[in-house]
Amino acid sequence: MKLTVLYFARLREALGRDREEVVVPVDVTTLAQLRAWLVARGDPWAGAFTEIKRIRGAIDQAMATDTTLLRDGAEVAFFPPVTGG
């Protein structure tokens, strides 16, 4: 499955990139599994995802939970808790 992964705010800075294209294995089907797969690649993902607390995710521009399913071609985003307003 091919995915576009976007990063915002502190997470973007910690990773030194705002997006990447990834191809994940077939057993990566949920948001939590994608996160675990990214972290398993080592640093900077492992460090950033551990250091920054309460990282949230969105799939196709809608807030997602750990169990939300991915789809081929999806735009997935990870970011720290929001602080607008």
Partner 1 sequence: MPVRVQREDFDAGVEIAQLRAANSAVGAVACFIGVARDRNDGERVATMTLEHYPGMTESALEDICTKAKSRWNVLDVLIVHRIGELRPTDQIVLVAVTSSHRGDAFDACEFVMDYLKTEAPFWKKESTPAGARWVEARDSDDTARSRWAHDNDRR
Enumerate binding residues for partner 1 (CB under 8 A): 6, 8-10, 54, 58, 61-63, 77, 79-85
Nearest to 38 by CA among 62, 9, 63, 14: 14
Nearest to 31 by CA among 79, 73, 72, 77: 77
Q: Which is nearer to partner 1, 41 or 75 (CB)?
A: 75
> Minimal distance in Å, beta carbon 1 to partner 1?
21
Q: Which is nearer to partner 1, 23 or 62 (CB)?
A: 62
Q: Which is nearer to partner 1, 33 or 80 (CB)?
A: 80
C-beta separation of 48 from 14 below 8 A: yes
